[in-house]
A and B are shown apart, each in its own frame.
Chain A
Amino acid sequence: MAKILMKGNEAIAEAAIRAGATNYFCYPITPQTEVAEYLARRMPEVGGVFLQAESEVAVGNMLFGAASTGRRVFTSSSSPGISLMQEAMSYIAGAQLPCVILNIMRGGPGLGGILPAQSDYFQATKGGGHGDYRILCLAPSSIQEAVDLTMGAFATAEKYRNPVMIVGDGMIGQMMEPVEFPDDFDAGDPSKNEEWAATGAKGRKARIIKSLFLDPLKLEENSIVLHEKYEKMKVDEVRYERYKINSKNELMIVSYGTMARICQTAIDELEAEGISVGLFRPISLFPYPEKELRKEVDAKNIKTVLVIEMSCGQMVEDVERVVQGVKPVKFFGRTGGIVPSPEEAKEQIKNLIKKPTRAKKAAAKSTSKRKRKD
C-alpha cells in the first residue's frame, strides 16, 4: 500500500480497525479526541461498535464487558481519563482479559494542561490501579511506529490475556506524517478467544469471568499466574532501538517516544561537531529492556548516562535501577507541556562531557599537591 499523510490520532484509529478491533468505547479528551471522531465515522462503515460513554469510569468497564465477548476491543484517552480507567484496568488484568488502551499523554498532575508530556510513566508501567498486576506498555516515537505497534498490540494482548497500553505524548497524536498500512500484516486470529470468552453455556459448563478469589490460596494462585505472564513478557516482549551506539560514544542518552527523536537530532548535530553520543530508546516500557540497556551502559567507553524525559524524572528511576550505580546517571527533563529542543539536549550533553580545560587541570594538580603536603 502507498504511503498516505495522516494525523497520528487518526492513523492509530485506522490501525486498530485494520487489526480487526471493531469495537471502540470512548469519552472525549484533548489531545486524542480525533481518535473518537475518526472512529465515529469509520466504525459504521465496517459494521463495528462505536459508543461514547458517560465517563472514562464507564468506558473502562464497558471495555471489561466487551472484552469478555472475546472480540477485539479498544479505547483511547489522555492522562486524566486514563486515571479514571484504572479501576477497570485492575479488574481486567485480574480477570485475564485482553484489550488495548491508547494514552496520548498530556501534562499533569490534576487537570494539568493539554500539551505533550511523558508524566504518566509511573502510572503506565508500575500498575496504576490496585493489586499485583502489570500492563504491557509500548511507546512509539513516530506515527508509522504507532501504527505498527497498534496493529500488533491486539494479538499480544490476546497472547497474554492482559491489557496492552500504547503510550504516546501529545505530539504522536497531533502531528502528521506519511504512513503505510501493511496489507500483509498478520494481526493474529481472535477466534481462539472463544476458548475462554463468555459465549453462552451451550453444550459446555458455565464460565465465570472474575477477579474475586476469597480463598487466599486461590488469590495467591491467580497472582502467581499473572506474575508468570509478566516474567514471560520480560523474556519475549522486550523492544528497544539503538541509535548510533558505538565504541566512540562518550555518553549515552536514554530517552523514549518523541523525546527520543529530538535527542536523535541533537546527536546528529553533535556528530558534525565531532562529539560522539549514542541513544538507547526503550520501546517497551514494561517490560523494560533491562539486560539490553545494562549491556550498553557497561561498555568501557561510556562514562555517563543521560536520561531525557518530558517529565520531572520518572523513567530515570528504571534506568538507575538497571545501572545500579556502575556509571553516573544524570537527568534532564522539561514538563508541563514544554518539549525540550535539540539545542537544550545538546547543551546538557556538552556540559556533561566537557573536557577539563588546561587551567582547570593545572588547578586540580596544585590542589592534589597541596593535599599531599598537608
Chain B
Amino acid sequence: MHTVQAEKTIFQRPESLTETVTHYCPGCTHGIIHRLVAESLDELGLRERAVGVAPVGCSVLIYNYFNCDFLEAPHGRAPALATGFKRIRNDMIVFTYQGDGDLASIGMGEIVHAANRGEKITVVFVNNAIYGMTGGQMAPTTLAGQVTTTCPHGRDTQQTGQPIRMSELLATLATPSYIERVSVHSPMHIIRAKKAVRKAFEYQKAGTCFSLVEVLSTCPTNWGMTPTDATKWLEKNLFAYYPLGCYKKPEEVG
C-alpha cells in the first residue's frame, strides 16, 4: 500500500468553457481555437464581462460551449451585432467568432467597416478554406484548384477569382488595428496562436483598437482526409498562400 500524495492541478477546463461535449468532427481544430479564446478570457479576468457573438457555420453552437453571455447573429453579421453592443456597453468585452464563409463572403461588408471604424472588438476568424457546415462548398478562401462540392473539378480562378487573403486586405485599412494570422495544427503553432489571441483581447481590454486573429484551421471531413493528413495538407498548401505572421499593430499607423 502506498500513500496518495496531495493532488496538484496542472491542467483543467478553463472556467470560460462549459462541460458540454462539442459536436465538432474528429480532428477538427474549432475545439482548440475555442480553448485558446477561453484561456485568454480566464487569464485576463474577462469572462464575467464578456459577450461573444456566434456566426452561422459549424461553430454556430459555440454558445453552448462558452460560459459567458452570447448572441447568435445572422450569417456574416456578427461584426454589426458586436458594433451595436459595444457602442453602448464599452465597459464590456465583445468578441465575434466567424468562419471564412461567414466573414469573407456574406459578411465581407460588415467586417471591413467594423475594422475601418476601429470598433473595439475582437474577431476570431477561422479560415478552413471551405464551407464546413453546409457540406463542403467553395469559400472565398478556397485555394486555386482545390476540389469542393461546388467546384468538383477544382477551383477555377478564371471564373471565381483568386482566394481572398483577409488579414492582408484588412491590414491595408488606414485605421489602426491589430491583425495576425496563426495556425493551430501543431503544438508549437498552438502556443503561438494563444499568444496572438490573448494579445487581441489585451488590446480590447485597454480600449486600444480593433483586433482580429485569423486562425488557419482544418476541416478533415470536407477536405476528405484523415485528421493527420489534414494537418499535413494545411501546412503544405495553406501556409504557402496564407503566410503566418502579424500584419498590423496599432503602434504602426497605416
Interface residues of A (CB under 8 A from B): 23, 25, 49, 51, 53-55, 57-58, 60-69, 71, 73, 87-88, 91, 95, 198-203, 206-212
The 7 A-B pairs with the shortest beta carbon distances in the complex, nearest first, are A65-B84, A65-B81, A66-B84, A62-B84, A61-B80, A210-B72, A202-B48
Interface residues of B (CB under 8 A from A): 18, 47-51, 53-54, 60, 63-64, 66-74, 77, 80-89, 92, 109-110, 112-113
Q: CA of A200 to CA of B47 in the docked complex: distance in angstroms?
A: 8
Extra inter-chain contacts (5) besides given A53-B113, A66-B87, CB under 8 Å: A65-B71, A73-B88, A200-B48, A206-B70, A209-B70
Q: CA of A279 to CA of B6 in the docked complex: distance in angstroms?
A: 85
13 A-B contacts (beta carbon < 8 Å): A49-B88, A53-B113, A57-B80, A57-B110, A58-B83, A61-B77, A64-B80, A65-B83, A68-B51, A69-B89, A201-B50, A206-B18, A210-B70
B84 neighbours in A (Cβ, 8 Å):
25, 61-68, 73
Contact: A23 with B88, CB < 8 Å? yes
Contact: B49 with A66, CB < 8 Å? no
Q: How many A-B residue pairs have CB under 8 A?
A: 131
B64 neighbours in A (Cβ, 8 Å):
208
A67 neighbours in B (Cβ, 8 Å):
84
Contact: A65 with B48, CB < 8 Å? no
B85 neighbours in A (Cβ, 8 Å):
65-66, 68-69, 198
B53 neighbours in A (Cβ, 8 Å):
65
Task: Specify the chain A residue showing the minimal Cβ separation from B93.
Answer: A200
Task: Give the contacting residue for A64; candidates B63, B69, B73; CB below 8 A.
Answer: B73
Contact: B71 with A71, CB < 8 Å? no
Q: CA of A55 to CA of B110 in the docked complex: distance in angstroms?
A: 9
B30 to chain A, nearest CB (A): 17
Contact: A58 with B92, CB < 8 Å? no
Contact: A61 with B73, CB < 8 Å? yes
Contact: B88 with A208, CB < 8 Å? no
Known contacts A53-B113, A200-B68, A201-B68; A58/B77 CB under 8 A: yes
